[in-house]
Amino acid sequence: MRRSFLPVAATAVLASAVLAAGLLTPPRTATVRTDTLGPDHGEPVPGYLARAAASLDPAGADPRWGLVSFAPPVTVEQVAELPGDPRVAQVLFRVPIDRVQTPLVAVDVSEHPEALRRAPAVAAGRLRSAMGNDRAVRVAAASAGRLADGCACVVGVVVRVAPAEASRLAAAPEVRSVELLPPDAVAGAFSVNPLLPEHVDVVAPGPDDGEP
């Protein structure tokens, strides 16, 4: 009888320990993404442009998170010269290839200028490790090659900028739109979807029957 009792006792102790651990260690709270920068799928482009412009409320001096979308795409050197001294936090790359839906690559960057300069190489390295069918690999390889060569492939940047400076930023000739989030938006708790240069009438995917 004693042999059968020991496993039962051990199981009871283990169950108690697990229960105690669960009570003492609350479950990790998942991040809820409620804010979005950029247009919604299927949204008319004029509607988004108006919505983005309306977000540039000059009231308040505290910096806010925002999305700058370009048309046509620009280089990282052009990003570095943007007016208004925005703090660039993320660079969004997408290599333009006719009739090919190339991948969007987001690269986080620090405040150091070298991080922005090296961002294309970081994006190229990620694409070189892409996996998928033969065409997907060819598209990724072609995109990586262009990025490594320093192409004008920046379609957007996530910035931290004061509202007053955001208006200056929106007036730059290479900038298509600037959208700001509310002041209480938290870094890492919002999604980003840039307005691509190919989006003219409606935000929707273009043709994808070409070859890189």
In a domain, 108, yes or no: yes
In a domain, 100, yes or no: yes
In a domain, 26, yes or no: no
**Strand partners of residue 42:** none
Separation between Cα atoms, residue 115 and residue 76, nearest integer Å: 10
Cα of 164 vs its chain's centroid, Å: 23
Q: Supply the pLDDT for residue 130.
A: 79
Q: Supply the pLDDT for residue 33.
A: 52
Q: What's the pLDDT band for 26 if we cut at 50, 70, 90?
A: very low
Separation between Cα atoms, residue 49 and residue 118, nearest integer Å: 30
Separation between Cα atoms, residue 14 and residue 6, nearest integer Å: 12
Separation between Cα atoms, residue 149 and residue 130, nearest integer Å: 18
Note the pLDDT tens digit of each residue in 121-133: 999 999 998 777 8
In a domain, 1, yes or no: no
Are 51 and 178 within 8 A, CB to CB? Answer: no
Torsion angle of the four alpha carbons 200, 94, 75, 45, in this order, in degrees rounded to the nearest 10:
20
In a domain, 205, yes or no: no
Burial bucket for residue 182 (CB in 10 Å: 0-12, 13-18, 19+): exposed
In a domain, 99, yes or no: yes
Q: Which residues contact 121 (CB under 8 A, 6 or more apart)?
A: 147, 148
State which residues form the domain around 177.
Answer: 37-192
- Single pTM value for the model: 0.83
**pLDDT above 80 for 1:** no
Domain count along the chain: 1
Separation between Cα atoms, residue 12 and residue 172, nearest integer Å: 69
Note the pLDDT tens digit of each residue in 39-76: 999 999 999 999 999 999 877 789 999 999 999 999 99
Note the pLDDT tens digit of each residue in 80-136: 999 988 999 999 999 999 999 999 999 999 999 999 999 999 999 999 987 778 999
Separation between Cα atoms, residue 188 and residue 196, nearest integer Å: 22
In a domain, 10, yes or no: no
In a domain, 145, yes or no: yes
